[in-house]
A and B are shown apart, each in its own frame.
Chain A
Amino acid sequence: MNEQPKSDRPTTRRTFLRNGARIAAMTGLGALAGVVANRSTAEGWVWQIDPQKCLRCGNCATKCVLEQSAVKCVHAFAMCGYCNLCTGYFEPEPNALTTAAENQLCPTGAIQRSFIEDPYYEYKIDEQLCIGCAKCVEGCSRFGNGSLFLQIRHDRCVHCNECAIARTCPGDAFRRVPASQPYLLKTTHAH
């Protein structure tokens, strides 16, 4: 049951995935690690969410001390199936697989869907709009590849001594991590 076919994706898709991994390694993660290193606590530890433990309870949107939660949805593109029917993007029973508001699951319309090549679509999070509610994370985890997940964004987090969300987290998903490695990212799915 664990064995899987090693099917090739179309060349163009393979190429963009490969490019994606390289760009992420060079920019986003490295840059953010730098940010947190400068802003972290004296002990050099910061709060983070273990995505494997998160139960998608909704508290991350409502319990943070900040007006707009420091928790955001993060997308592991390398794990994503680039599905036409993205269960993190669409309502369970959408009228049509279009970007019309009534078809979207996200309460703030924070997920952008764009066509890549037949039949693949890319989904990006607009972090200005994301409130960290985890609705999309639940949809993707239940019926998709689990490529959407929550992380505390350390360029936003004010590093409370005791994280207000951690106090209520039913999944016990919060833990301290070294400021030099502030993210607990999901790794590539075995597809």
Chain B
Amino acid sequence: MKREFQLASRRKFFSQTAGAMAILGAIALQRGQAAEKAATNPFAYDVSHLQKTDPKLITYEETARWKAPHAEAKRIAIGPEDTLYLCSGNYLTARNRSGDRGLEIALAEPSRCCAVEKDGTIYLGLRDHIEVFDAKGQRKATWDSPGKKSWITGMATTENEVYAADAGNRVILRYDKSGKLVRRIGEKDKERNIPGFIIPSPFFDVEVSRDGLLRVNNPGRHRMELYTADGDFEGSWGSASMGIKGFCGCCNPINLALLPDGRFVTCEKGLPRVKVYRTDGQFESVVAGVESFVANGKACGPSDCTAGGLDAAVDAQGRIYILDLVTGDVRVMKHRA
């Protein structure tokens, strides 16, 4: 039975168990021995070893860094000619490889995520709907909202489809290029063996690999899932752990990107880190570890678990761009020779 706050009866306090007595004995000893050592905490929750990454695991190095053009940076995406598109504040801003600013679209509300076609067509996710812009930033269409609770946080495109990760409704929406909703993917369905997405905080992402399968993070289950375009669940990988090979905290990974050969780049919050996994889900290496994102690690806490977080995008050369949602820094990471 659930209760909002669990407080036991008085009688229970006085019916002490042998286990508790043993611990109390240990405490009495601690009191005697260490009364003066008040600064040491015998019950410390020690994760200091997780705050530092084994250098042998880090296979990328930073080659450049610049700031997102506006506060409240949310997502990054790569477009044609490796142009980087940043969703920050009420803007979508394009930047070339060296960080020079190009196209900028001002919006009436915060931009949340985007996907860009080879011809420069931009599909932009706003909170509850998608807008389409041409390469020059002219608005071409505003698609109907998929629903009141929609919270679009990730997008991807293929030749014929646009996919949107709707964190509010815990579903991947598949559209055709005209904005017609073709299919809802990943909703819990026992008969089709679909487990359903668990999205405790608004971080939900989708990418399409060259094999045509969708890669979707399922943060509440600490794993990555694979779906066909028709919504068949093809499998998953990932494990829950604070350790470097797993996904930490209540909900991770929060965002993903794909390397040109299909390997995964994953982003985590809480212990902010960016890692590479092989196509079969085996941990491979670290792009940037917790020590690279000090402010970010402090931002994510119980008062606001939506704070903090990282995003990543990959260009045609395999360079990884990491967006720090707290500092607004964009780091360009190159694989070490």
Contacts and interface: CB of A to CB of B under 8 A. Distances in A.
Given A28-B6, A135-B43, A119 B220 contact: yes
Report the interface size class on chain B. Answer: 35 or more
A57 B42 CA distance: 9
Given A29-B7, A59-B38, A77-B6, A92 B242 contact: yes
B201 A76 contact: no
B162 to A, nearest CB: 20
A78 B195 CA distance: 24
Contacts of A29: 5, 7
B70 to A, nearest CB: 13
Q: Most chain-B Cβ atoms within 10 A of its Cβ — which of A23, A77, A92, A147? A: A92
Contacts, number: 210
B42 to A, nearest CB: 6
Contacts of B19: 108-109, 129
Contact of B8 (A77, A127, A134): A127
B320 to A, nearest CB: 23
A3 B220 CA distance: 19
A135 B27 contact: no
B168 A6 contact: yes
Interface string B8-37: 111011011101100110011011000000
Given A74-B7, A107-B43, 19 more contacts: A3-B127, A4-B306, A5-B151, A6-B168, A7-B170, A8-B149, A17-B2, A19-B1, A21-B4, A32-B7, A58-B43, A62-B27, A62-B31, A87-B249, A92-B50, A93-B242, A94-B241, A131-B20, A144-B249
Interface of A: 1-8, 10, 16-17, 19-21, 23-25, 27-29, 32, 35, 56-59, 61-62, 67-68, 72, 74-78, 81, 83-85, 87, 92-94, 97, 105, 107-109, 118-119, 122, 124-129, 131, 133-135, 138-147, 151, 153, 155-156, 168, 183, 185, 189-191
